[in-house]
Amino acid sequence: MSKVFQATHVGKVRHNNEDSLIVIEPETFVVADGMGGASAGEVASSMLVETVKNFLTNSPAPWNEITLAQAITRANEEIWNLSQQNEDYRGMGTTATILYLDGDRACFAHVGDSRLYLLRNGILEQITEDHSYVETLVRRGEITEAQARVHPMKNVLTQAVGAMSEVQIDTANFSAQPDDVFLLCTDGLTNMVDDETIARILQTSPNPAEDLINAALDNGGKDNVSVIVVGVD
């Protein structure tokens, strides 16, 4: 079994926590960052984690990245349908980043700008790509990573679960090794804390989830922040 640490915090500025996270047996980890007016963001992200949990626990294991994507597709239908039925929920959506570990294999399914990182041999690598407008500009070479970090449209997503009738989901599978450390997090961490600090905390802290949250709060805590850290045996 892996060693798992998880934490979420409303941050220092916002009044609601629109992030949701869940650990599903066996070895499945989900973070979601909801968006939408009033309480709609909380509704979207909590529907995401609940629907994914129900879908997976009713699917025969072992799962793979296709199963994870099917779970997100189901959540997309449910969130979209509710948003069409209820005026208060119009336009709501959520990110979804799911990691599943099965022995020496790992796979993920991903939508939005929450992130999956892998720390291996002391090197922190971002595994997922952000589905954001600024990331599109970076990939086209129109702006730099540094400009993306302070861009006025940095919060605009190009894909979100439940925001449209269909959603495009990134998936992949790869090998997991002993001592790999996976981090799933919402942008409330990555907008507040640089990669170097994240890597240092993952390598040295006995309570990495708590210490990552504290680092985000120390740097301003402008957004909700959620993290799941998974250390592979």
Question: What does the binding site for Ca ion look like in residue numbers (CB under 5 A)?
Answer: 33, 186-188, 223
Residue in 118, 142, 136 with CA at minimum distance from that of residue 128? 118
CB of 164 to Ca ion, least distance (A): 19
CB of 102 to Ca ion, least distance (A): 29
For residue 172, give both structure tokens. 């992949």
Alpha carbons 83 and 90: distance in angstroms, whole number = 5
Q: Which is nearer to Ca ion, 67 or 226 (CB)?
A: 226
Q: Which is nearer to Ca ion, 36 or 188 (CB)?
A: 188
Angle, CA 96 vertex, CA 43 and CA 91 arms, to 5°: 45
CB of 186 to Ca ion, least distance (A): 5
Q: Which is nearer to Ca ion, 33 or 211 (CB)?
A: 33
CB of 62 to Ca ion, least distance (A): 31
Q: Which is nearer to Ca ion, 37 or 103 (CB)?
A: 37
Residue 15, Cβ density class (10 Å: 0-12 exposed, 13-18 middle, ≥19 buried): exposed
**What element of type H or E holds 24?**
strand 19-24
**Residue matched to tokens 């948003």:** 83
